A = this chain, B = another copy of it.
């Protein structure tokens, strides 16, 4: 059975145009689907419409926004306000990486409460600026308001690409690879939530995620990437988006997962660590589909260049949804997608 072929390919007259990319399962994505409304033709000047990691205009301009809310995405005990800004900007910039786009500019809107709103706004902005500059972009606009409640920031990133890599192109037979280590950020949140102090490396993974922009451009320049996404919802959730967008199923090989090395002490059970990678989210690593047999020859140079591994974590197969290989190699349906802000629960 194919997935949702209606949402899979462009319906608009220009065959290059992509009007709507199908999303994976989950209450949050059900809401986003309703939020987007019925599929309508793309307006003039738009290349890739809603549902992918970012909006792409005809001239290759890429736009995405990322909302961070105190008490939902972070708690002040876990992060300085500079870190809050850094992390929010890194998450937004990661959406540019997921389109293989180069950053150009950042807009920051921030609503600050508390007794010292000026200081708080400036600290958040400092973090946003640090993350933006690390990725080669400047903060060039935005808005500012008081908040009677939580700190809220919306980071809008603007980038450019001449060849965006979408979520839609994966086909049965393609391999799925990830950059870097998984589960570190979710491991930190889990420990904090239970009143424990996470190892510094996990705190760092949560506080200062690295948008894989250079890595994405490197990969897109050397490999025929067929589909690409950044890991914000956990490997399970984001693999689900690639599956839905491509109209295929994803079969994950848990044994291969590149689990963050600093997880082992605090999470001795392998299932627990795999759960953090699958369901935890916010690793901001890249997940991509490529035809089989091409990546191995590049992996060593990738690791030498960027200092992180490149790991095959599964493949695309006919069908729909996300599966993992059981002990005897039999496919087991993943019980849920990734982290979901609209499915009860809090934290992280």
The answer to whether B61 touches A117, judged by C-beta atoms less than 8 angstroms apart, is no
Across the interface, A43 reaches (CB within 8 A) one of B49, B65, B111, B137, namely B137
Candidates B32, B54, B142, B144; contact of A144 at CB < 8 Å: B32
Choose one: B43, B65, B104; the contact of A154 (CB below 8 Å). Answer: B65
Tell me the A71-91 residues at the B interface (CB within 8 Å): 71-73
The oligomer's copy count stands at 2
CB pair A69–B109 under 8 Å, yes or no, is no
Q: Are A149 and B147 in contact (CB under 8 A)?
A: yes
Contact B65 A145 (CB under 8 A): no
Near B by CB (< 8 A), chain A positions 113-140 give: 117-118, 121-122, 125, 129, 137-138, 140
B341 touching A145, Cβ below 8 Å: yes
Counting chain B CB atoms within 10 Å of each CB, the highest count among A69, A121, A129, A141 belongs to A141
Closest residue of chain B to A91, judged by CB? Answer: B143
The reply to whether B143 and A154 form a contact with Cβ atoms under 8 Å apart is: yes
B150 touches A65 (CB 8 A): no
A156 contacts the other chain (CB 8 A):
yes
Q: A31 at the A/B interface (Cβ < 8 Å)?
A: yes
A342 close to B (CB within 8 Å): yes
Give the chain B neighbours of A73 by CB distance below 8 A.
Answer: 145
A40 — which chain B residues lie within 8 A by C-beta?
Answer: 138
Does A163 have its Cβ within 8 Å of any Cβ on chain B?
Answer: no
Contact yes or no, B105 A43, CB < 8 A: yes
Chain B residue at smallest Cβ distance from A160:
B45
Contacting residue for A147 out of B28, B72, B110, B121, CB 8 A: B72
Closest chain B residue, CB of each to CB of A92:
B143
Q: Which residue, of A46, A54, A142, A341, has the highest number of chain B Cβ atoms within 10 A? A: A142
Looking at the assembled complex, report how far the CB atom of A299 sits from the nearest CB atom of chain B, in whole angstroms: 33
CB contacts (< 8 Å) of A152 on chain B: these are 69, 111, 147, 152
Contact A141 B69 (CB under 8 A): no
A15 within 8 A of B: no
* Complex A-B, nearest 3 residue pairs according to Cβ-Cβ distance, in ascending order: A149-B149, A154-B154, A71-B148
Can you name 20 A-B pairs with beta carbons within 8 Å?
A31-B144, A35-B122, A37-B129, A43-B105, A43-B138, A45-B104, A45-B160, A54-B141, A63-B107, A64-B107, A65-B143, A67-B143, A67-B145, A70-B148, A72-B111, A72-B147, A109-B109, A143-B154, A147-B149, A156-B156
